[in-house]
Amino acid sequence: MNVEDPFVGRLAELTRLRACALSARAGRPGLVLIEGEAGIGKTELLRHWLRDPSLRAFTVLRARCDTSEQDFVFGMVQQLISSAPGSLVGELSLLTGRIPASTPPYEVGSRLLEFLGTLQSEQPVVLLIDDVQWADAASLQACSFVLRRLEADAVLTVLTARSTGDGHEPHSADALRRLVGAVPGSVRMALRGLDVEHVSELITRVTGQMVTTYLAEDLRDRTAGNPLYMSTLLAELPDGTLTETSLKALPVPSSLTAAIRSQLAHLPGPSQALVEAVAVLGVPSPLAKVGWLAEVEDPSSAVEAALRSGLVRWRPDQPAAPVEIAHAMQRQAVIETIAPDRLRHLHAAAVHLVDRHTAWAHRVAAAGPLDLQLAAELVDAADEAFAAGEADRSATLLLWAADLEVTRAGRERHLLRAVERLLAIEQFTRVAALMPRVRASAPCAARSLALGAQALHRGTLPAAEAHSLAALEESEKEGETHTEIAARTALSAVLNFLGRYDEGIEAARRALERDPSVTYAWINLCTGLALAQGPQTALRELSQVTPTVLRVTPETGPHDVALLSLRGILRIASGSLKRGAEDCRTALELGRAHSVSTLSDFTQTHLATAQYLLGDWEDVPISCERGLAITANGEGRAAAYAWEYAALCWLAAGRGEWAAALEHLHALENRSVTDRVDTAHTSALCAVSRAIYAQARGDHQAMLTAVEPLAQSKTGWAGQLQVYWLPLHAEALIGLGRMREAEAEISHLRVTAEDCSCLRASASWLAGRLASHRGNLALARTTFEQGLASLYQADAPLLHTALLEHDYGLVLRHSGHTAAADKWLDEARQRLRRVQARPFLERCAQDLSQPAQPATTTREAVVVRELSAREREIAHLVGRGLTNKEIGKELFVSSKTVEYHLSHVYEKLALTNRRELRDHVQRGILTQGN
């Protein structure tokens, strides 16, 4: 039999792969998932495709995943990188050497996009990942991020996945399914058994003889057309000839696994030993090393029969002449055939032939059922891995240690610690598989903590509270300070979600009394304080934390990044928009530098809301898109979606893009239904968003209907979001003629504005509008002028500033000062033009006594409206002076995608170079024609 599996019956799939490669080469990225049972021919299809001459024009990055490497964080990514030209890898420091396990997958994905942009400057790229169902979770998340962000890239990604065969569902399977479903235009190829015609072809290639249709049908029926199964059986023909008699005499095992075992049993002793040694090692290994492990004196002779059987492959053209099992299914079957004592002996000997990380698996396999010494060493290694940020690997080592323990208490201790570490990195899918063992464990604090975390993740708050309380009680009995702190921190989060803020605050304080460095205890404490007493109270509490949070220095560490993000979010909620936005930007930069992502999703979205209020409207979709990219990649919290959709809704409404605004609003409303633990928070954002949409439409009744529930509460999330809805409520009351209620609301607004700088301009505007509607023009004029005089001191929202100027102009007109009125109306119009606030701009233009002609009627002003959202973003960032590489990082796309869209911008605007575009953007081209 040939060393390589025969390639037959896959012409249609091969043609499809070639077509996908041609499409990718033209700048249309693609994703192909090839699925099928073990032995169906996935690897052979790829091997044949890679020989295609057209692929010589591609850079091929390849990785092969294995069950033994699922807990090596970013192992798959590092395989891909290591297969690239070394000179290019050196440009990206994060991707050289071992990627820190603490690095957020989206950050690794961002660097991969940058790397792919560099590679594409030379030639198109193929990412080829075998057995992706065994990829480590972090790599799969990073690759998911990349594949969702490819736009105009010459990149084809090809994945192979085993659909059936071993009875185990890998914990990355759900993520894989979500990935393929999320990539537009992805192609799924389900490889099935060969038909009769191709079975005949396979028989001819293996045996060199032509056969009848009857014989081909018979063999196909026995094997379901599985190429590996058939090749295994054909290798067993005594004389290599297939006839009706020999086929009937041929014992056909009931499964491929059984066939492989039979094949192994018919090998000569030395060859069989060699195959067993190759299977135990599990990776391509030098023939001399394999021979030593197998205790075979002449491995070169012994390997010949193994090669003829098709069980192993040999690479004599490589320096170490490595050999490996030809197929994962063959390896599994061979290992299951080895006698237990010999298998332990081989694993024990293999310890000396592999690296220290791989050696643990061999040591565990070589150990007896109970080995306390090895269990203790595994625990030490697990602690070392956890300290290095490798929580997944640490959990695996602890679970191995649990299997070697004598007592139930020892087994459960290691199990629960493994679950605790998986929960720390939010590996809920892997934890779910361990929950039956957790529930069967004896009651203790660690068990209750695990059950509480799972309940909170599922949104069952009463159960989460009960388990957290039980964990607290049990930890106090056990005298375990660590679990007590964890229990109080968990309880504080649950109580905040339940709206029992005072109790949540107390639980967080008690945790911090024991350990002031617990980040999430600080987050829960400040969240509770903000919801119960307002963001200013939370900020005062936070100001007591370490000075590095308040004054960013080179020593600012990962713990401080989270607290800096928290401070930025609280500052925005308290109305200190500019300082809050600066905190958020700094925290995001430090998070990138320290390879941590704490609160990055919320940080991005709160930055977007601050940008909306301040009038940096071109930056809002960029921040939202970054936040959505993180959240959609499974690295953010579900509640972050609400902020992302809300900010996008506000922006679209402000620009009069009604369909887009409603689309985002409906997405937000759907989120309020599906959120499991953040219903009050999301519902409050829904109310604000409906009111902002109604404001843009000039519908005061809809505004009031939306925010009235918040006005009646003014606590909890209503209080936290008052910066956004308080002015809307007063505006609606004035618009509906409910003056006394409006007066009371504006009085409240003025008091609130004393500690909330961004509401000062809003309070002046609305107080002046109220006076104007009551006919007191003198008071209105004085109030507006006071507001305008204090604008430079405040974080004045751009929209409210423009409306103040607009209303002031109207009051001046009614007072007979037409020229001064038009000056302020034009000031408001110019301000609104800068952000393209079309609904408000149209009202302002109507009130000018001599409506101004559009500032620009050139082709540019017309064509700029035809720019796509991505083209506008890129043009805006060019105007800020960013390079293509920097723009790619900002937008989470490759530089190739930036180049593609930039070329369209040049073409549409009839520009020839970057300098011209930058000059045009800085002169306001993106806001012309409004």
Tell me the pLDDT tens digit for each residue of 804-821: 999 999 999 999 998 999
What confidence score (pLDDT) does residue 91 get?
Answer: 55
Phi, psi of 323 (to 5 degrees): -120, 155
| Whether residue 125 has pLDDT greater than 90 | yes
Beta strands 322-325 and 285-286, pairing class: antiparallel
Identify the H or E element spanning 814: helix 798-814
Stated as kind and residue range, the H or E segment containing 678 is none
Q: How far apart are CA 339 and CA 349, in angstroms?
A: 15
User: pLDDT of 864-876, one tens digit each?
Assistant: 668 888 999 999 9
DSSP-assigned letter for residue 57: G
pLDDT at 607: 96
- Residue 863 pLDDT > 80, yes or no? no
Tell me the domain boundaries of the chain: 11-190, 196-252, 263-366, 379-562, 751-852, 859-927
The pLDDT assigned to 636 comes to: 61
Q: What pLDDT score was predicted for residue 530? A: 95
Q: What is the mean pLDDT of the chain?
A: 87
pLDDT digits (tens, 9 = 90+) for 408-436: 999 999 999 999 998 888 777 788 889 99
- Give the contacts of 892 (CB within 8 A, at least 6 positions apart): 106, 109, 110, 113, 145, 149, 625, 626, 629
Of 164-173, 546-555, 691-700, give the range with the top mean pLDDT.
Answer: 691-700
Round to whole Å and give the CA distance between 173 and 132: 9
pLDDT of 92 over the 80 cut: no
Looking at 144-153, 669-678, 764-773, which range is the least confident one?
A: 669-678
Q: Three-state secondary structure along 343-392?
A: HHHHHHHHHHHCCHHHHHHHHHHHCCCCCHHHHHHHHHHHHHHHHCCCHH
Architecture of domain 263-366: Orthogonal Bundle (1.10)
Instruction: Report pLDDT for 619.
Output: 95
Predicted confidence (pLDDT) at residue 520 exceeds the cutoff of 50: yes
Q: Is a pLDDT exceeding 80 seen at residue 177? A: no
CATH number attached to the domain at 379-562: 1.25.40.10
Share of the chain above pLDDT 70, in %: 90
Q: For residue 451, give the nearest of 434, 496, 511 by alpha carbon.
A: 434
Give mean pLDDT, residues 47-75. Answer: 87
Helix spans in 7-150 (H): 11-25, 42-50, 75-82, 86-89, 105-120, 137-149
Lowest mean pLDDT among 265-269, 416-420, 658-662: 265-269
Average pLDDT of the segment spanning 302-311: 88
Q: Give residue 5's pLDDT.
A: 47
Does residue 314 sit in helix, strand or coil?
strand
Whole-angstrom distance, CA of residue 505 vs CA of residue 525: 5
pLDDT of residue 166: 46
Identify the band that residue 240 occupies on the pLDDT scale cut at 50, 70 and 90: low
- Per-residue pLDDT tens digits for 281-291: 988 899 989 99
pLDDT in tens, 793-852: 678 999 999 999 999 999 999 999 989 999 999 999 999 999 999 999 999 888 876 554
CATH number among 3.40.720.10, 3.40.50.300, 3.30.70.20, 3.40.50.620, domain 11-190: 3.40.50.300
Protein fold of 859-927? Arc Repressor Mutant, subunit A (1.10.10)
Least confident of 142-146, 184-188, 464-468, 657-661: 184-188
Angle value at C-alpha 274, between 272 and 279, nearest 5 degrees? 95
- Looking at domain 751-852, which of 1.10.3470, 2.60.40, 1.25.40, 1.10.287 is its CATH number? 1.25.40
The token pair that represents 503 in the structure block: 């109790």
Residue of higher predicted confidence among 738 and 40? 738
CA-CA distances (angstroms) from residue 843 to 724, 767, 832, 857?
22, 20, 11, 21
Q: Do domains 11-190 and 379-562 have the same CATH topology?
A: no
pLDDT band at 160 (very low <50, low <70, confident <90, very high): very high
Average pLDDT over residues 315-337: 82
Across the range 891-904, mean pLDDT stands at: 92
Rounded distance, CA 175 to CA 515, Å?
36
Distance CA 114, CA 121 (A): 11
Q: What per-residue confidence (pLDDT) applies to 164?
A: 56
pLDDT-derived band at 244, boundaries 50, 70, 90: low
Which stretch of DSSP H or E encloses residue 542?
Answer: helix 535-542
Is it the case that residue 245 has pLDDT exceeding 80?
A: no
- Which residues have a Cβ under 8 Å from the Cβ of 277 and sit 6 or more positions away? 290, 291, 293, 294, 296, 346
pLDDT band at 249 (very low <50, low <70, confident <90, very high): low
Q: Is the dihedral of CA 391, 396, 400, 406 positive or negative?
A: positive
**Confidence bin at 233 (pLDDT 50/70/90):** confident
Q: What is the mean pLDDT of residues 784-788?
A: 92
